[in-house]
Structure 1
Amino acid sequence: MELIVAHDRAGLEKARSSGRVALVPTMGALHEGHRSLMRVARTLADQVVVSIFVNPLQFGPAEDFSRYPRTFDSDLDICAAEGVDVVFAPSADDMYRPDRQVSLSAGRMGAMVEGAVRPGHFDGVLTVVMKLFNLVGPQVAVFGQKDAQQLALIRRMVADLDLPVEVVGAPTVREPDGLALSSRNRYLTPDDRQRALALSRALHAGAARLSPAAVRAAAEGELAASGLVADYVVLVDPATFAEIPDDFRGEAVLAVAAKVGTTRLIDNVLIAF
């Protein structure tokens, strides 16, 4: 079946299926990590819809909205190769009314960890995801574990607002040397690309330890040894993103963020205690 590209709400409405729909929200600049989400979605539904929309609400004033990579033609080739049924690629004017007043609040969890570094970021994320849920009408939506706090907040939004959408988290996809795939990796110079490996090394060093305190210390030490200055190195509950105590038992997220050259990268790994 030929890929349908809908650039507005009317085109999306015409393309919508009466069967089970899976949504994969993206900002484009697609890579193998996005392909993995599409493949998961394909197993879960009759119709797969991929949204491609660089959401202005989730970028702060000093962030990279204007230079965020936009590779629409190659994105469509990837979607077609993965058997996606519909690409929804609206304009900002079509997504947001010029007199828009109402947005979602990510609450206390949205102001923690990544949200503390990027105030308002998760408000923008939840607002656009809610709009996509309303417009596409999926029964299931697939997100990457790489954005672990985003995944947790979307699950919380679905629970708190009683949304009829199953949220599926898919594993992080990495390069052979451990670097997590990201659309922003294309900003890295060759030297930066090598320095960026410190993030995955820090996660690996932390995951090899047996106690929360040792996990944090090992990850922080690896980043410090690399010369990178971390925005944070945290060990948190994957559902609430609250820092875990040293006597914690269960699964936790070790999350790191640092700027490499001019590019800010995030990464995380799940650890069981």
Structure 2
Amino acid sequence: MPFEIYTSLPHSRTPSQTIQALSKFTTQYSTATSFVPNGVCTQEEKRVFVEQLLRGLSSNLEERRNAGTGGSGDSSGSEEEEATRLTLESLRILCRESLSCSQVYSSSGISLLLSHSTLPLTPSPSPSSSSPTQATFKPDSQVTIESLKVLSNCLLQNPQSRRCFEELGGVEGVVGGLGLDPTKLNLTTQFLLLRLLFLTTVDNKHTVAKLVEALGVVDVIEKIIKKHTPKPIEPGPFTPQTVLSEALKLVFNLMHDKAPSSKIGGGLFGGAVTYTDADEEVVEGVKPFS
């Protein structure tokens, strides 16, 4: 069973033990897209592994809270950060298929991922033990980037998790992460933040209205489009072209809403827009992050 090297460790496993165990797992299964159907493990074995990974992320977060250092990414280059990054990468690999990942898709799972993403979340008026942790946004941290990738896979594979993401302030956090000048962010983080907004606006008029009318996302998208058009084609998974593509997919979702908003058509294209219903079909071509 591929998870034994990690699940057999004591709950008080050290960062170095975590790194050793999960490095082997992520290397061996870096391209895997299916575990249970392919007989790699049973649903229960995968569920236990996912549960322990989440427990590890929670313990890491609790230690940071007690130390007063905030969310992930405060100890760049440390063993603790590398252990957290590998834990998130393992979850990303496992979440390429939705079987036995219900704990990740739950409100507590999404909250945990948001905490590690360091997105600038608005404090909840009635915080609970499961509320995301507030932290300084660290867009270049590998922990932040892995967290955003896992969140993207969750919102893609489990549409119900989009509601949890929004209720926990994820939409506002993403817009806050993009900031007044999103083009100052690295391309990977730009892409991932746009992907999250794209997924949360699928067939969701409420979120579209909030983004356009209250959060000023049109101005943000306009800056991204102007920045990346035109640009020479660059190699790699996250390029000006992929960021531009993701921005335009978000524009598609914003425009395919019946609620009238001249801010979209006038702001981006200087003309009237005909609105139709958005549909889940727009995500059919989107694949989980590998």
- Give me the TM-score of the superposition, normalised by structure 1: 0.31
Structure in which a larger fraction of residues adopt helix: 2
Structure in which a larger fraction of residues adopt strand: 1
